[in-house]
Amino acid sequence: MIHKLVNWRMLALMTGVIEASGLTKTFGRVRALDGLDLSVDAGEVHGFLGPNGAGKSTTLRVLLGLVRKSGGDVTVLDRDPWNDSVAIHRELAYVPGDVNLWPNLSGGETIDLLTGLHGGADPQLRAELIRDFELDPRKKARSYSKGNRQKVALVAAFARRASLYVLDEPTSGLDPVMESVFRAQVRRVQALGATVLLSSHILSEVEELCDRVTIIRAGVAVERGTLAQMRHLTSSAFKVVTDADESAIATLPGVAHVRRENDTLYFDAEADAVATVITALAGSTVTSLTVTPPSLEELFLRHYGDRIESVEAAV
Amino acid sequence: MRRLLLAQLRRDRVVLPIWIAATALLAYASASGVKVEFPTEAEREAVIQVAVATPSLLALRGLPDGGSLGAYVYFQVFTYLAVMACLMSTFFVTRHARADEERGRTELLGATPIRRTSPLVATLVLGVAANAVLGTLVALGFMGGGLDPLGSWVGGLATGATGIAFLGLGALASQLAPTSRAANGIGAAAVGAAFLLRAAGDAAGTPRNDLLSVTSAWPSWLSPIGWGQHVFAFTQQDLRPLLLSAGLGVATAVVALALQGRRDMGSSLLPERLGRATGGATLRSSVGLAWRQQWPSVVGWAIGGALLGALAGSLASRIAEVSDLQQTLQDLLSTFVPGGRGQLVDLLVAAIFGISGILAAAAGAQAVMRARGEESDGRAELLLAAPVTRAGWLLGYVLVAVVSATAVALATGLAAGLSFGESDRFWSSVVAAAAQLPAALAFIALTTLLFAVIPRLTVPVGWAAVAVGFIIGQFGGLLQLPESVRDASPFTHTPGIPPLDGADWSGAFWLLAISALVIAASVVLSRRRQLTS
């Protein structure tokens, strides 16, 4: 126990629980990861976003040592995930994206199997989790729905203390009430000092839980940082009822997509350009001014593919 | 309805033809085989006389009715053709009824404008058609093997009709059982019961005056397979028993359709059993899980081995009493056994132990293949994300494989030894069964190597190797395969014949050493490869 505590402190002092740089992975001719950089600090909840097929699950499997990297550097808890997987797994809890269970084992048996391999669950925690997730542990896994299979994996992950939680779209089959139970668990383990890497599609979840996010696309990280930083990099939408000359606004640096509808002017301005825009508008009559910061959806969609751009172009 | 039929037919375009082709091939192979092995009526009558006097042979084969070629073939093979048709039919219904419901495909279909019973009706129509094709091909198989055309058609009809009886029973099982696994279990148990009832009835039957035919006792009349036998396709050609088969099929199908029309989707008459809320002591390690997953099949294989051993023992002591046939049978049996010539009893027992070796190899190979199933179904990912080494995980399955093979061999040896009724044969039987173990181990090693190096081929190549081993071991002599081909099978290198005083054990030790080495190398190699789906 003391050994574990010491270990815990040391981990908290280190930064970079997960460090990957230039990570590549090829399956035959398919390049699943193409020079991915990922850095997760101790004690943070890190969001891992990206469209389907971007390489999220492949990344997590490389981090777990289940598949071997083709190139680049990667360490998890300061160890090599392929050669030192067992040592890493001792301190880690994992929920796969597609939870497949042993059909003839009950939920309770599965939880005890998975936690037992780590040295056993905290019995009180296990009981609380089963109660909170409203899981019937006596049912055979064969008869569980997707959401219930996910709950089994989540209970097994949270029922013991780990220093790193790797969660691959863990709430994709859960209802909103269960999702809030999940969020409470993430906050609980973070308060205990654990690190969480959370791959997710649910933006409100990411917004609420994550300190920093990494967005990947086609096997490359295209955006990294806190949500505030990422917002700063993106334009805000202006809607101004004014008689100002639209060509004067359009020539300002950092302003784009200017158009006028009757007496209303619409345009996007980057964060650095806001001050000059206000100055330029000062000489004209302004009856109404609305500035909307980019929503996470917009941030997200910006990186999620050409689909959106082409839709915009069509508009 | 037409679309439903086509959709179900398309989904079954591989599985159903395989069942049908295998059954028809069995009909053809046994018809032509008997013609080669026992070309004259006198020889066939001689064998049947032994069978009539040997209840365990009757239980295993069926009801003899004279020594004509067709009657002999029908006696020898109809039971197995019927079992194939029955299993095909029940599994077929389950695939389209309970399995679809379990996987949610019925829900998708149920939302379309069709009746609640329509998918089941389509399945039953298709099932009847499949049995018609099966019956036709069995008839053609008989004719191709040189049997009388009329009798062949009657035999095909009896096979198809027995299958149809079980089509209805299978539909009923899908109404009763909560899962497709349980439905298949009920279906297979019904087929097993039909086999055992007629086995009991035939074994307890009374020989008629000519000593070439047997009147079965009443239990045979409780079994659809028994009804099919009583058609005596090549002699009496009595079609009346088939009315019973058709009646059973129609009655069970009607009940199944009535239930299907009334019950909620997803519900079943038998409730799903609940499991334990906590994991027991065995579920604390990956080896424990491997055992928990597989002990039922280990027990199943061991029971199979014990039945085979008991049969070998009782047959041998029986045959020792019948002396006039010994020369013919001895010639036949000696072709099964590599290299040896001994007493007839010893040869027979060795032949049956050869089969037990294959059972042990199959049980072991299957246990290793489970590891591949865990990997491809994504469950290994969950387990290997815990602090479990890949080598330790694989070794768990190899361990269960070795236990499984050993259990089969020992069960065979003990059962044979006990049923001999002569104490001096007991230990030699146990040793003879154990002598098969090194060869079984070689198949475990091969499957492990496949898993470590070319995981995707583990299951197909693993089974193919066992099948080739079986063919070389059992029919290598009969087919007069060249020595070099026969040497490729590990079973050629086991000491085959009890008593084993002078037997050559060097081959067994070599097999043991090579297998252990290959397993060790495979476990090391498996550490170097990543999970593949």
Residue B283 sits at the chain A interface (C-beta within 8 Å): yes
Domains identified in chain A, total number = 2
Same structural domain for residues A105 and A51?
yes
- Residue B302 within a domain: yes
Structure-token pair, residue B68 = 């004509």
Ranges B358-367, B452-461, B475-484: which has the least confidence: B475-484
Q: How far apart are CA B184 and CA B206, in angstroms?
A: 35
Interface mutation target, options A100, A152, A168, A197, chain B, most CBs of B under 10 Å? A100
B531 touching A, CB under 8 A? yes
Residues A39-52 have pLDDT tens digits of 999 999 999 988 88
- B384 vs A: CB within 8 A: yes
A101 touching B, CB under 8 A?
yes
Q: Are residues B322 and B254 in the same domain?
A: no
Question: Domain check: are A31 and A175 in the same one?
Answer: yes
| Band of pLDDT at residue B307, cut at 50, 70 and 90 | confident
Q: At what angle do helices B437-453 and B458-475 cross, to 10 degrees?
A: 150
Across B148-152, B176-180, B425-429, least confident range: B425-429
The pLDDT of residue A308 is above 50: no
pLDDT band at B46 (very low <50, low <70, confident <90, very high): confident
Indicate whether B234 belongs to any domain.
Answer: yes
pLDDT digits (tens, 9 = 90+) for B221-245: 999 999 999 999 999 999 999 999 9
| Whether A145 contacts chain B with CB within 8 A | no
By CB neighbour count within 10 A (0-12 exposed, 13-18 middle, 19+ buried), where does B186 fall? buried
Q: Alpha-carbon distance B35 to A65, whole Å?
A: 61
Residues A12, A42, single domain; the answer is: yes
Determine how many CB atoms are found less than 10 A away from the CB of residue B223: 26
Q: Label residue B479 by pLDDT band (50, 70, 90).
A: low
What are the chain A neighbours of B284 within 8 Å (beta carbons)?
A: 112-113, 116-117
Share of chain A above pLDDT 90, in %: 45
Q: Distance (Å) from the C-alpha of residue B182 to the closest C-alpha of chain A? A: 11
Residue A136 lies in a domain: yes
In whole angstroms, give the CA distance from residue B430 to residue B517.
Answer: 26
Q: Which of A112, A124, A163, A197 to mutate to test the interface with B (most CBs of B within 10 A)?
A: A112
Token readout for B82 is 């019927």
- Whether residue B418 lies within 8 A of chain A, CB to CB, comes out as no
CA atoms in the 13 A half-sphere facing the CB of A180 = 2
Contacts of B278 in chain A (CB under 8 A): 108-109, 112, 137
Task: Pick the range with the lowest mean pLDDT from A18-22, A58-62, A277-281, B102-106.
Answer: B102-106
Helix (H, G, I), strand (E, B) or coil at B65: strand
Following DSSP, what letter does each residue of B205-222 receive, concatenated? -EE-TTSSBEEPPGGGGG
A303 in a domain, yes or no?
Answer: no
Q: Is B533 a domain residue? A: no
- pLDDT for residue B347 is more than 80: no
Indicate whether this complex's ipTM tops 0.85.
Answer: no
What is the Cα–Cα distance from B172 to B98, expressed in whole angstroms? 10
| Per-residue model confidence as pLDDT tens digits over B159-188 | 999 999 999 999 999 999 888 888 888 898
Confidence (pLDDT) at B484: 77
Q: Is A160 on the interface with B (CB under 8 A)?
A: no
**Is B418 inside any structural domain?**
yes
Nearest CA in chain A to B377: A100
- One domain, residues A166 and A262: no
Looking at the fold, whether B219 and B287 belong to one and the same domain comes out as no
3-class secondary structure per residue, chain A: CHHHHHHHHHHHHCCCCEEEEEEEEEECCEEEEEEEEEEECCCCEEEEECCCCCCHHHHHHHHCCCCCCCEEEEEECCECCCCCHHHHHHCEEEECCCCCCCCCCEHHHHHHHHHHCCCCCCHHHHHHHHHHCCCCCCCEHHHCCHHHHHHHHHHHHHCCCCCEEEEECCCCCCCHHHHHHHHHHHHHHHHCCCEEEEECCCHHHHHHHCCEEEEEECCEEEEEEEHHHHHHCCCEEEEEEECCCHHHHHCCCCEEEEEEECCEEEEEECHHHHHHHHHHHHCCCEEEEEEECCCHHHHHHHHCCHHHHHHHHHC
A219 and A241 co-located in one domain: no
Q: Among candidates A19, A57, A58, which has minimal Cα distance to A195?
A: A19
Residue B315 included in any domain: yes
Nearest residue, CB atoms, B277 vs list A92, A116, A137:
A137
A30 class by beta-carbon count within 10 Å (0-12 exposed, 13-18 middle, 19+ buried):
exposed
Q: Are B335 and B467 found together in one domain?
A: yes
Q: Do B389 and A137 touch (CB under 8 A)?
A: no
Question: At A175, which CATH number?
Answer: 3.40.50.300
Mean pLDDT value of segment B343-354: 68
Q: From CA B382, how far away is CA B375, in angstroms rounded?
A: 10
Shortest Cα–Cα distance, B523 to chain A (Å): 15
More confident residue, B276 or A151: A151
Minimal C-alpha gap between A88 and chain B (Å): 8
B246 and B302 inside one domain: no
Q: Same domain, yes or no, for B257 and B289?
A: no
Residue A138 lies in a domain: yes
Single-letter residue type at A132: D
The pLDDT confidence band at residue A54, using thresholds 50, 70 and 90, is confident
Asked if the Cβ–Cβ distance from B278 to A137 is below 8 Å, we say yes
Which residue of A101, A108, A143 is in closest CB contact with B277? A108
Q: State whether A206 and A287 are in the same domain.
A: no
pLDDT of B334: 53
Q: CB within 8 A of B17, min separation 6: which ones?
A: none
Say whether pLDDT at A314 is over 50.
Answer: no
Amino acid A232 reads H
A42 phi, psi to nearest 5 deg: -65, 135
Q: B302 lies in which domain range? A: 283-527
Identity of the residue numbered A286: V
For B289, which of A98, A99, A113 is closest by C-beta distance? A113
Query: Is residue A152 domain-shared with residue A59, that is, in the same domain?
Result: yes
**Whether residue B258 is found in the same domain as residue B393:** no
CB contact under 8 A, A117 and B284: yes
Does the residue B437 lie in any domain?
A: yes
Q: Are residues A169 and A210 in the same domain?
A: yes
Q: Is B238 found in the same domain as B305? A: no
| DSSP secondary structure of B150-218 | HHHHHHHHHHHHHHHHHHHHHHHHHHH-SSHHHHHHHHHHHHHHHHHHHHHHHHT-EE-TTSSBEEPPG
Least Cα separation, residue A138 to chain B (angstroms): 5
> Which of A85, A109, A139 is the closest to B279 by Cβ?
A109
Q: Are residues A268 and A144 in the same domain?
A: no
Q: What backbone torsions phi and psi does residue B126 show, to the nearest 5 degrees?
A: -65, -40
Number of domains in chain B: 2
Same domain, B258 and B287: no
Phi and psi based region of residue A237 (left: phi greater than 0; alpha: psi -120 to 50; beta: remaining):
beta
Chosen domain end from B232, B262, B292: B262
Q: What is the pLDDT of residue A10?
A: 47
Rounded average pLDDT over A185-200: 95
Residue B382, pLDDT above cutoff 60: yes
For residue B478, pLDDT beyond 80:
no
A4/chain B closest Cα distance in angstroms: 16
Using a CB-CB distance cutoff of 8 angstroms, which residues of chain A are in contact with residue B383? 114, 117
Q: Is A168 on the interface with B (CB under 8 A)?
A: no
Give A1 or B331, the one with higher predicted confidence.
B331
Report the distance separating Cα B92 and Cα B81, nearest Å. Answer: 16
A276, A242 in Cβ contact below 8 A? Answer: no
* A170/A31 same-domain check: yes
Band of pLDDT at residue B274, cut at 50, 70 and 90: confident
Q: Are residues B130 and B224 in the same domain?
A: yes
Pair (B257, B300) in one structural domain: no
Over residues B423-446, the mean pLDDT reads 85
Residues A240 and A260 in one domain: yes
Inter-chain residue contact B385 with A112, CB threshold 8 Å:
no
Nearest CA-CA distance, residue A168 and chain B, Å? 12
Q: A171, A192, A226: which is the final residue of a domain?
A: A226
On whether any CB of chain A is under 8 Å from the CB of B296, the answer is: no
Average pLDDT, rounded, for chain B: 85
B532 in a structural domain: no
Q: Nearest C-alpha of chain A: how many angstroms from B186?
A: 17
Q: How confident is the model at residue A229 (pLDDT cuts 50, 70, 90)?
A: confident
Residue A313 resides in a domain: no
Q: Is residue B10 part of a domain?
A: yes
Q: Residues B379, B477: one domain?
A: yes
Asked if residue A288 belongs to a domain, the reply is yes
Using a pLDDT cut of 90, give the percent of chain B over it.
Answer: 39
The strands making up A264-269's β-sheet, listed across from edge to edge, are: A255-261, A264-269, A236-242, A286-292
What are the helix (H) ranges across B53-117? 55-61, 69-96, 98-103, 105-110
Cis amide prior to A170 (ω within 30 degrees) = no
Q: Do B186 and B128 fall into the same domain?
A: yes
- A206, A226, A246: which is the final residue of a domain? A226
Closest listed residue to residue A143, CA positions, set B180, B92, B264: B180
- pLDDT tier at B340, thresholds 50, 70, 90: very low
Q: Is residue A20 part of a domain?
A: yes
Which of A109, A118, A155 should one mutate to test binding to chain B, selecting the residue with the greatest count of B CBs within 10 A? Answer: A109
- Name the minimum distance, in Å, from the CA of A108 to any CA of chain B: 5
Q: Does residue B369 surpass a pLDDT of 50?
A: yes
Contacts of B379 in chain A (CB under 8 A): 100-102
Which of B50-59, B97-106, B306-315, B368-377 has the highest mean predicted lDDT (pLDDT)? B368-377
A307 falls within a domain: no
Round to whole Å and give the CA distance between B362 and B358. 6
pLDDT the model gives residue A2: 44
- Tokens representing residue B19 in the block: 């069942």
Q: Do B274 and A87 touch (CB under 8 A)?
A: no
pLDDT band at B106 (very low <50, low <70, confident <90, very high): confident
- Taking the Cβ of residue A64 and every Cβ of chain B, the question of whether any pair is shorter than 8 Å is answered with yes
d(CA B325, CA B46): 7
Q: Is A277 an interface residue toward B (CB < 8 Å)?
A: no
Q: What mean pLDDT, rounded, does chain A reach?
A: 85
Confidence of residue B330 (pLDDT cuts 50, 70, 90): low
For residues B335-346, give the mean pLDDT: 52
Residues A148 and A266 in one domain: no
Structural domain contains residue A302:
no
Chain A within 8 Å of B377 (Cβ-Cβ)?
A: yes
Range of the domain at A90: 2-226
> In the listed set B262, B291, B325, which residue is the last one of a domain according to the structure?
B262
Q: What is the CA radius of gyration of chain B?
A: 25
Q: What is the pLDDT of residue B325?
A: 53
CA proximity to A185, closest of A145, A207, A155, A210: A155
Nearest residue to B13 via CA among B115, B126, B182: B126
Instruction: Look at residue A51 in the predicted model and tell me its pLDDT.
Output: 83
A108 and B531 within 8 Å at the Cβ level: the answer is no
Q: Which residue has the higher pLDDT, A1 or B29?
A: B29
Say yes or no to pLDDT of A199 above 90: yes
Which of B273, B277, B531 is opposite residue A66, by nearest beta carbon? B531
Instruction: Pick from B184, B381, B456, B527 the residue to mutate for testing the A interface (most A CBs within 10 Å).
Output: B381
CATH of the domain at A248: 3.30.70
